[in-house]
Structure 1
Amino acid sequence: MDTRKVNEASEKMDGDEDIGSVMGFSGFGKKARTFDLDAIFEQTRRTAIERSQRIIEERQAKTQMEEEGESSHSVKPSIHRQKDKAAAASSSGQKSESSSESDSDSDSDSELIGPPVPTQLAAQEDDEEFVGPPLPPGYTGSTAQSDDDDDEGETQDDDDDHPVKKIPDTHEITLQHGTKTVSALGLDPSGARLVTGGYDYDVRFWDFAGMDQSLQAFRSLQPCECHQIKTLQYSVTGDVILVVSGNSQAKVLDRDGFNVMECVKGDQYIVDMANTKGHTAMLNSGCWHPKIKEEFMTCSNDGSVRTWDVNSEKKHKSVFKPRSHQGKKVIPICCTYSRDGKLIAAGCQDGTIQIWDRNLSVHTKFHCRQAHTPGSETSCLCFSYDGMTLASRGGDDSLKMWDIRNFKKPVNEATRLTNFFSMTDCCFSPDDKLLVTGTSVKKEEGNGKLVFFDRVSFQRLYEIEVTNASVVRCLWHPKLNQIMVGTGNGLARVYYDPVKSHRGAKLCVVKSKRKEKQAEALTQDYIITPHALPMFREARQRSTRKQLEKDRLDPKKSHKPEPPVSGPGRGGRVAAHGGTLSSFIVKNIALDKTDDSNPREAILRHAKEASENPYWVAPAYKQTQPEPIFEEESDEDEEADKEPEWKKRKI
């Protein structure tokens, strides 16, 4: 009974298989392949170890032979190549094993996913030697690694270990702003235009894409008349420029130098600076908000820091009043925003650094009383790109770094950095690893330098001697990777690297100088009479070049003057002495050798002949000339002449 049921079930299954094969889905229920992963990994590991040992032995033998013959060495293959070969070997072993298993299974049609690796490429990878990238100049590390270091990570590039290699100082260009100190530099966010300002009241615009090798500014103006320019900065969008000068009113210009707005002047008779609408004394510095494109900030000698809106020039937005330890007014020398725009920092004349929350203008959030020497002018404050570090350039010849989370004492400090200007800059590198500032020098007492410090250790890593004058302004643009420097002798220098830098100065150094067009002189002045009659109207001159060409063809207008006659003479012109004015004077006046010992006789030698035989004047008046009648002198006149002077009658 049971045997019959089993036979029926088997027949039924055979029938189902036939139906499935006819319909095309008989292979769906095939058993999946299984792999012994432990065996595969063990075989791969053994193959890699054997291959590495064989390569090392071959290298050592080759090195020994070369040392004996030519005393030269060969570079061992790097661990990366060994790892690649081991991985290739393991993959090839796995592929061979999988292929053998696939051959054993006769029912599988296509087990491998994707095309197989070409045999020529696999053989080329195994046979070729690894050739690494060239080592950077000045590299002191070892090119070979020991066998014990095979399991370590990848070697770092030398440029990462030495931030000095990232300084773009291989090439430079010099922009001649003027003869006086360049006290302000500004570069737009895209890096296309540079603006410079100085003690000569001028603001010059430089376009890198439009300049050639002559390096000439395309515009120069004096926006603040006879006031020194102290700060120039493009907004975050680059469409307007903030101009801070020696007067009490800051200005905002557009990209072409036209006035957009001017801050209002405050009432100088009001004591509380919060009750007046603007500054009442000379400005010291200013900057744009890093996030809000309409807001900017200024600080002044009136003891206030004010924020402004471009759209409302009649009044400031908010006022921050720095105070000393006794609560007295102090003068802010420099001011800046944090990178996120939430904090406002000011360096004051009493050596303090005061930081406010942008929305709370009464009390300071961070305050350091003895940041720099009291009485010195803190010339610059700069936040790092991560927003946690603040760098301050003091008038006491120091550069300090602060952590705003612990603002009681500086993290690092550098001294002997001479500073003669109240706007000497300091800035961070684009990768936030270096800190840059400039030094000042007296006239003919050395060269101004650009000094680079490591941010972590604060070691002086590198120096650039700029020129024989003070380095006042410095700017490291993160997009261009170029350094702009303003000096005390009227120069603005741009340092760049053809490989590491982008655009900027690289655009203008490749352009040749344009040929200057010579001014064409007008041959004739024309009077334009549009309402004259046609018979009196002259044809209007369309081009001076065409008129010059016509005059050249005219034999009368283009006739060459005849040269002086030399020799016996020709064409009716005699070449005797006196042909020219100089020769006539020499012959008749200068070299006249007639010796008149008696000048009176020389003058009157023709008087007798003229009176006897008149020729010019006397014949014309001969008939009408009256006879002269002279008065005879009497005796009284003779006696009057003999009287003394004091008796003579006064008339």
Structure 2
Amino acid sequence: MTDPDVGAIMGFSGFGKKARTFDLEAIFEQTRRTAIERSRKVLEEERSVERPYEPTSCAGRSGSPSRKGHTGDLTRSPVDSENGSDDSDNESEKSGPTLPSQMRRLDVEGESAVGPPLPLGYGKQQSETDEEDDEEKEDDEDENPLKRIPDSHEITLTHGKKTVSALGLDPSGARLVTGGYDYEVKLWDFAGMDASLQAFRSLQPCECHQIKSLQYSSTGDVILCVAGSAQAKVLDRDGFQVMECVKGDQYIVDQAKTKGHTAMLNSGVWHPKIKEEFVTCSNDGTVRTWDMNTEKKHKSVFKPRSMQGKRVIPTTCVYSRDGKLIAAACQDGSIQIWDRNLNVSVTLSNSSRHVIFTAHDPGRGGPFPPHQVLMKGDDTIKTWDMRNFRNPLNVASGLPNIFPMTDCCFSPDDKLLVTGTSVKRGQENGKLVFFHRETFQKLYEIEVTDASVIRCLWHPKLNQIMVGTGNGLAKVYYHPVKSQRGAKLCVVKTKRKAKQSQTVTQEYVITPHALPMFREPRQKSTRKQLEKDRLDPVKSHKPEPPVSGPGRGGRVGTHGGTLSSFIVKNIALDKTDDSNPREAILRHAKEAEQNPYWVAPAYVKTQPHAVFATPEAEEEVEDDEPEWKKRKL
């Protein structure tokens, strides 16, 4: 059977339509021509916008003669004026700037055609322009490093009422730890705080010792706590103790023979590369390195010496950025640097890599970049070149300093130096001063508060500056655009409202099948229940005020304090004369006879009537007795 017969039998006209075929070359050619026309129209619109006044078209339409010398020179050439309006179209097509090389491409047939659509070309140029603007901004910031200082906004964290002597921030910038002269260590979590700016934990890890230094390890999982005791402690992120250094024997003269420090600690820092190692310095005249895995003994000992070979006390210690050198600033004004890998038994002349004498009056130090040491002391700040220790590179004076742990540090790009100034509380304002690293020119200063600025820390990831002051405050300076996270996370959160219940109400138990006499009335609302409780004299009983005076109802007065003091006071105020005990007892005889309470009721039926002796009878008995038996009065 043929196809029409099968279709007629089954009720349809055909077996479907044939598949549609597409000419891909024709489609591509049509798309190309459409893009060309669209780009040509866009270009013409751009030309018309750029040249809103066309002198050729105006002259062609009006036929008016040209005006040479007109302002702006809007005339045409003589040849163009003769052609008139016939060449106006050609002139309008030829007018405008030529297309750049990126906007041109050759047609398949060899004809010159406009390139890709205009927005793509302009987008590329725009991105290049943005990159150039960013580079210009970076160049401007490099030329003026003050633009990198994040000081537009600040928040204030209240540590306490005493000096904030220690400050630390973990490498990620999520948590801040502060310590002070009040023996307290407080932990702050920027992501968990709200606008109330309260610490989530407060503790006293070293009992009654002032906190000297706090620092997170390179991984941020533990905190090194250095206090006024002879034993440094390592705490975890929540403040619980992980390790405590051992204390040395204070009766051994050679400090290298002891297992730990024997005097008050001054400072301590973590190794920048090895997370288990840290270094501490003490008043016993030693600098010791420690390993968390061996807490029973130090790892190595370095003993600074003066020019005469005597023991000197290091006030601070620090690692170099590569961790190969250890520097210590001493009380005699010297800066001494050792190689970390040298043996302890080597003599001083060999173990001391670099020694600077008379660097400062009281030496205080800070971190140093490659080949440079930054030290602060005797109201000055100096930088030294490790390759030439004869003279300092730069010196900045006029920086008052009272506290031995006053910080000086570099900016994240190592182009600025930052330090704080000390003042007498209430007289002046403590300042945070910025210097140029190369020239030591004073560039900028921030007035922090009316107390000394002791600790300063510029975090490179957050681009925020943390400052510890002498009046118990820790301030954080940041910029809403230049800074990242940190203080920006907590300032946007509103304070949480604490739920306070005015009164304690009984829970309502629903018993639908209970008898009416045992069924509790249903509570309609809390307000009505509170009104009913207010009318109840038992529930709304007013608390009794403190007793004033000698006391009443078995309650002791406020001036008594304790029962013993109350009894002593009543005895002192008692004016009765108890010189004759017999009379004092007989005063209660009549009442005891009429209302017996203690002894008499038990012997009423068995004992005879008591007869007490009278004074006259006593005198008669005394007269009958001999002289030697008489009582001496």
TM-score range (shorter-chain normalised) is 0.5 to 0.7
- 1:388 aligns with one of 350, 371, 379: 371
1:214 deviation in Å? 0.7
1-structure distance, mates of 2:411, 2:304:
30
1:403 deviation in Å? 1.5
Match of residue 168 from structure 2: 186
Match of residue 405 from structure 2: 423
2-structure distance, mates of 1:119, 1:131:
16
Task: Please give the residue correspondences for 1:27-38 in structure 2 after superposition, counting only pairs within 5 Å.
Answer: none
2-structure distance, mates of 1:399, 1:524:
69
Match of residue 360 from structure 2: 372
Against the structure 1 CA distance between its residues 410 and 218, is the aligned structure 2 distance closer, same or farther, given a 3 Å change threshold?
A: same
Q: Residue 269 in 1 paired to residue 251 in 2?
A: yes
1-structure distance, mates of 2:289, 2:379:
30
1-structure distance, mates of 2:435, 2:200:
36
1:154 deviation in Å? 6.9
Against the structure 1 CA distance between its residues 524 and 456, is the aligned structure 2 distance closer, same or farther, given a 3 Å change threshold?
A: same
2-structure distance, mates of 1:555, 1:443:
54
TM-score, length-scaled by structure 1: 0.61
- 2:430 aligns with one of 445, 448, 452: 448
Match of residue 116 from structure 1: 115
Q: Is the 8 A contact 1:552 1:558 kept in 2?
A: no
TM-score, length-scaled by structure 2: 0.63
Q: Is the 8 A contact 2:376 2:382 kept in 1?
A: yes
Q: Deviations over 1:480-537 (max 9, x none)?
A: 0010000111000111111111110111110110001215655689xxxxxxxxxxxx
- 2:497 aligns with one of 510, 515, 522: 515
Q: Deviations over 1:385-417 (max 9, x none)?
A: xx23221011x1110011212222111001111
Against the structure 1 CA distance between its residues 500 and 120, is the aligned structure 2 distance closer, same or farther, given a 3 Å change threshold?
A: closer
Against the structure 1 CA distance between its residues 405 and 111, is the aligned structure 2 distance closer, same or farther, given a 3 Å change threshold?
A: farther
Q: Is the 8 A contact 2:102 2:115 kept in 1?
A: no
1:165 alignment partner, SS class? helix
2-structure distance, mates of 1:125, 1:262:
61
1:265 alignment partner, SS class? coil
Letter in 1 for 2:403: F
Letter in 1 for 2:487: A
1:444 deviation in Å? 2.5
2-structure distance, mates of 1:632, 1:445:
85
1:260 alignment partner, SS class? strand
Against the structure 1 CA distance between its residues 457 and 94, is the aligned structure 2 distance closer, same or farther, given a 3 Å change threshold?
A: closer
2-structure distance, mates of 1:162, 1:131:
22
Q: Residue 479 in 1 paired to residue 461 in 2?
A: yes
Q: How many residues end up aligned between the 2 structures?
A: 445
Q: Is the 8 A contact 2:330 2:364 kept in 1?
A: no
Q: Is the 8 A contact 1:229 1:244 kept in 2?
A: yes
1:252 deviation in Å? 0.1
Against the structure 1 CA distance between its residues 393 and 515, is the aligned structure 2 distance closer, same or farther, given a 3 Å change threshold?
A: same
Match of residue 359 from structure 1: 341
Against the structure 1 CA distance between its residues 289 and 559, is the aligned structure 2 distance closer, same or farther, given a 3 Å change threshold?
A: same
Match of residue 22 from structure 1: none
2:280 alignment partner, SS class? strand
Match of residue 275 from structure 2: 293
- 1:404 aligns with one of 367, 372, 386: 386
Against the structure 1 CA distance between its residues 332 and 523, is the aligned structure 2 distance closer, same or farther, given a 3 Å change threshold?
A: same
Q: Deviations over 1:568-591 (max 9, x none)?
A: xxxxxxxxxxxxxxxxxxxxxxxx
Q: Is the 8 A contact 1:523 1:548 kept in 2?
A: no
Q: Deviations over 1:605-648 (max 9, x none)?
A: xxxxxxxxxxxx9xxxxxxxxxxx9x9999xx99x9xxxxxxx9
Against the structure 1 CA distance between its residues 416 and 112, is the aligned structure 2 distance closer, same or farther, given a 3 Å change threshold?
A: same
Letter in 2 for 1:116: G
Match of residue 436 from structure 1: 418
2-structure distance, mates of 1:211, 1:119:
51
2-structure distance, mates of 1:403, 1:90:
59
Match of residue 471 from structure 2: 489
2:366 alignment partner, SS class? strand
Match of residue 643 from structure 1: none
Match of residue 301 from structure 2: 319
Against the structure 1 CA distance between its residues 125 and 481, is the aligned structure 2 distance closer, same or farther, given a 3 Å change threshold?
A: closer
1-structure distance, mates of 2:199, 2:266:
26
- 1:92 aligns with one of 92, 100, 118: 100
Q: Deviations over 1:127-154 (max 9, x none)?
A: x9x9999x99xxxxxxxxxxxxxxxx97
Match of residue 82 from structure 2: none
1:552 deviation in Å? 5.8
Letter in 2 for 1:92: P
Q: Residue 243 in 1 paired to residue 247 in 2?
A: no
Letter in 1 for 2:477: Y
Q: Residue 199 in 1 paired to residue 181 in 2?
A: yes
Q: Deviations over 1:216-242 (max 9, x none)?
A: 111000000000000000000000000
Against the structure 1 CA distance between its residues 442 and 548, is the aligned structure 2 distance closer, same or farther, given a 3 Å change threshold?
A: farther
Q: Is the 8 A contact 1:551 1:558 kept in 2?
A: no
1:435 deviation in Å? 0.2
1:196 alignment partner, SS class? strand
1:211 deviation in Å? 0.6
Deviates more, 1:515-524 or 1:237-246: 515-524
1-structure distance, mates of 2:218, 2:123:
54
Match of residue 225 from structure 1: 207
Task: Please give the residue correspondences for 1:59-74 in structure 2 after superposition, counting only pairs within 5 Å.
Answer: none
Structure 1: stretches of 5+ with no match in the other structure: 1-50, 52-60, 63-87, 103-107, 137-152, 526-545, 563-616, 618-628, 641-647
Letter in 1 for 2:312: V
Against the structure 1 CA distance between its residues 122 and 328, is the aligned structure 2 distance closer, same or farther, given a 3 Å change threshold?
A: closer
Against the structure 1 CA distance between its residues 511 and 369, is the aligned structure 2 distance closer, same or farther, given a 3 Å change threshold?
A: same
Against the structure 1 CA distance between its residues 237 and 116, is the aligned structure 2 distance closer, same or farther, given a 3 Å change threshold?
A: same
Against the structure 1 CA distance between its residues 556 and 230, is the aligned structure 2 distance closer, same or farther, given a 3 Å change threshold?
A: closer
Q: Is the 8 A contact 1:423 1:473 kept in 2?
A: yes
Structure 2: stretches of 5+ with no match in the other structure: 1-50, 52-70, 73-95, 508-521, 539-593, 595-610, 623-629
> Once superposed, what is the RMSD of the aligned Cα atoms?
4.3
1:382 alignment partner, SS class? coil
1:215 deviation in Å? 0.6
Q: Is the 8 A contact 1:346 1:381 kept in 2?
A: no
Deviates more, 1:436-445 or 1:175-184: 436-445
Letter in 2 for 1:559: L
Q: Deviations over 1:346-369 (max 9, x none)?
A: 001110001111112542111111
1:273 deviation in Å? 1.4
Q: Residue 559 in 1 paired to residue 535 in 2?
A: yes
1-structure distance, mates of 2:615, 2:483:
112
Task: Please give the residue correspondences for 1:205-216 in structure 2 after superposition, counting only pairs within 5 Å.
Answer: 205-216=187-198
Q: Deviations over 1:57-104 (max 9, x none)?
A: xxxx88xxxxxxxxxxxxxxxxxxxxxxxxx978636976x74xx6xx
Letter in 2 for 1:393: K
Q: Is the 8 A contact 1:551 1:557 kept in 2?
A: no
Against the structure 1 CA distance between its residues 422 and 154, is the aligned structure 2 distance closer, same or farther, given a 3 Å change threshold?
A: closer
Match of residue 448 from structure 2: 466
Q: Is the 8 A contact 2:211 2:227 kept in 1?
A: yes
1:445 deviation in Å? 2.2
Q: Is the 8 A contact 1:481 1:496 kept in 2?
A: yes
Match of residue 535 from structure 1: none
1-structure distance, mates of 2:325, 2:168:
22
